[in-house]
Amino acid sequence: MLTYDLSKRAEQPLYEYLYKSIKADIITGTLQAGERMPSKRKLAQHLGVSLVTIEGAYSQLIAEGYIRSAERRGYFVNKVIAPHEVVEQSQDKKPARTGQHHSPEATSQGRKDTSFLSESKDEGDVESASSSFIDLTGSIPPRGLFPYNRWSLHLRKVLTEADERMLVAESGPFGSLVLRQAIANFLFGYRGMAVDPDSIVIGAGSQVLYQLIVQLLGRDVRYALENPGYGRLARIYHANDVSIAPIPLDEDGIGLDELHASTATVAHIMPTHQYPTGQITSIARRYELLAWAAGGPDRYIIEDDYDSELQFSGCPIPSLQSIDAQQKVIYLNTFTKSLGPSFRMSYMVLPHALVQRFRKQLGFYSCTANAIDQLALARFIDSGEYERHINRVRTRLRSNVTELSQALKRTGQTELTLENAFAGSHCLLYAGGSMSASDFAAKAQDEGIRIRPLDAFSIDRSSMPNPAREQYLNYRLVIDHGALATTEIDHCAKLLASAYSRMSEVG
């Protein structure tokens, strides 16, 4: 039976201390892959803690992929690569030879393949809808939460108190040092990431940073993208004349075998909360990806951590960058998801070698973000108001999925269930497995609700890795619920249930 000295937890919550203790035992091999974990009730009794404490620890371990739940059998330890094994694996794995490709070769000439350009509209592309429509396609934060009065106060203080030279001087390529220091402090406090402010680059939105990364790493390399994935990302790479390799997702994250076969040297992934599936990349796959990146001098991983602040409960899932000992991860994040699309402010954290390359190759650029807004945002973060704001946003989003789930149950259509609704402003709707999600979306449109099927986010629709995965895509839809008003939730559930009922009658 697992035994830990809970008196050593200091000020940590019990569940967090227990989660970290079990996690350490798994990484060091004290708990072996395949080993059965004690039941939650037995462990709670053994340690003298509440069942809720054990549930919290186990839930965090499952979310990060350290353990798995087997129905009616219990909990089991997953195989996890120890950090020191990453380098060893990278030395064993040779880069795939050019010309040896598997399914991603459907887009081996990524510059010429434009099939993904015709996919359904991304966030911000949807035409204005009638006010009677409920729109579940707009990926924006909840309305009515942003403290505009406090933001205006910080703007006024910047204009009246800041050194005028900071306001009128041309901004360097990395952006305001004041904001970069504020971001570094926030990342350390919230994500446990030790980041040098000099390695941070600020830009006017993630799209600007994507283009800077292309210029930094080169257009003559292939970029692996998750499939299904964020369609606008594929379009941006295509607009920059970059070859892409759509890599299908499996239950652990981006497919590793397909990645090795693709000849891509850069992998752009969203491991903490993938869009649109909401999937978390398992800890085992994270270490495998780091081993892949360490296997070639020009290989890098772009970790798009776009909404990590919006996890509803538990400890924040550690970033890939925080476990990268080989300096192979470019960490990317944005304030757009928490503050709103009009706040075009994002940042990336570069590995040490790329900081020097950025300064040498792209140092002639000026920062694209407004200097006054950068200083105001720094004050907003340092004052603690940004953290209070994301707490409000997180609470509203958690309430949205909780209430929508309950409202769907009240309709009696038990086949309609929410999945991966643990963070951010989007989740999946499972449509019961008896009808096409595309047909369901069309019927929902007739009912007065706009929603997109998951397969609309496929970058490469020519083939799927296996029938089970194709079925997974066919019966799920993406719900972007950030802008869903509390007063609309019951009506929204009824419209979805009505669409499902009409589809069932036709079937």
Average pLDDT, stretch 390-399? 94
Kindly state whether residue 157 falls inside one of the protein's structural domains: no
Q: Are residues 442 and 502 in the same domain?
A: yes
Kindly state whether residue 169 falls inside one of the protein's structural domains: no
Residues 6+ apart with CB under 8 A from 103: 248, 258, 460, 463, 465
Compute the Cα dihedral for 289, 291, 296, 298 and give only its sign: positive
153 pLDDT band, cuts 50/70/90, is very high
Q: Are residues 140 and 61 in the same domain?
A: no
Final residue before a domain boundary, out of 53, 80, 107: 80
Kindly state whether residue 213 falls inside one of the protein's structural domains: no
pLDDT of 317 higher than 90:
no
Average pLDDT, stretch 467-492? 88
Helices (H), 329-466: 336-339, 352-362, 371-382, 385-410, 437-447
Q: What is the pLDDT of residue 325?
A: 92
Residues 6+ apart with CB under 8 A from 236: 207, 210, 211
Kindly state whether residue 210 falls inside one of the protein's structural domains: no
Q: Are residues 480 and 428 in the same domain?
A: yes
CA 236 distance to own-chain centroid:
18
Q: Are residues 476 and 393 in the same domain?
A: yes
Average pLDDT, stretch 182-207? 94
Average pLDDT, stretch 437-447? 93
Q: Are residues 70 and 139 in the same domain?
A: no
Q: Are residues 470 and 399 in the same domain?
A: yes
If you average pLDDT over every residue of the chain, what do you get? Answer: 87
Compute the Cα dihedral for 289, 292, 293, 294 and give only its sign: positive
Q: Provide the domain count of the chain.
A: 2
Kindly state whether residue 13 falls inside one of the protein's structural domains: yes
Q: What is the pLDDT of residue 408?
A: 96
Reported as a single tens digit per residue, the pLDDT across 259-298 is 999 999 999 999 999 999 999 999 999 999 999 999 999 9
Encoding tokens for residue 379? Answer: 């004050």
Encoding tokens for residue 381? Answer: 């973060």
Q: Are residues 41 and 139 in the same domain?
A: no
For residue 214, the SS3 value is helix
Average pLDDT, stretch 135-161? 90
Kindly state whether residue 212 falls inside one of the protein's structural domains: no
Kindly state whether residue 57 falls inside one of the protein's structural domains: yes
Q: Are residues 29 and 137 in the same domain?
A: no
Final residue before a domain boundary, out of 80, 102, 131: 80
Cα angle value 338/340/343 (rounded, 5°): 105
Residues 6+ apart with CB under 8 A from 13: 56
Q: Are residues 125 and 41 in the same domain?
A: no
CATH number of the domain where residue 14 is located? 1.10.10.10
Give the Å distances, CA to CA, from 351 to 179, 198, 202, 303, 348.
Answer: 19, 11, 15, 12, 10
Final residue before a domain boundary, out of 64, 80, 96: 80
Q: Render 247-299 in DSSP notation, one character per residue.
A: EEEETTEE-HHHHHHTT-SEEEE--SS-TTT-PPPPHHHHHHHHHHHHTSTT-
- 8's enclosing H/E stretch is none
Reported as a single tens digit per residue, the pLDDT across 45-88 is 999 999 999 999 998 898 888 898 887 789 999 888 765 555 55
Q: What is the pLDDT of residue 365?
A: 94
Q: What is the pLDDT of residue 466?
A: 66
CATH number of the domain where residue 439 is located? 3.90.1150.10
Task: Say if strands 222-227 and 243-250 run parallel, antiparallel, or are unpaired.
Answer: parallel
Average pLDDT, stretch 78-105? 53
Kindly state whether residue 214 falls inside one of the protein's structural domains: no
Length of the chain: 507
pLDDT of 180 higher than 90:
yes
Q: Are residues 139 and 65 in the same domain?
A: no
Q: Are residues 76 and 130 in the same domain?
A: no
Its domain, for residue 442, covers 120-145+388-506
Phi, psi of 132, deg, nearest 5 = -80, -10
Phi, psi of 428, deg, nearest 5 = -105, 150
102 pLDDT band, cuts 50/70/90, is very low
Q: Are residues 435 and 485 in the same domain?
A: yes
Q: What is the pLDDT of residue 433?
A: 65
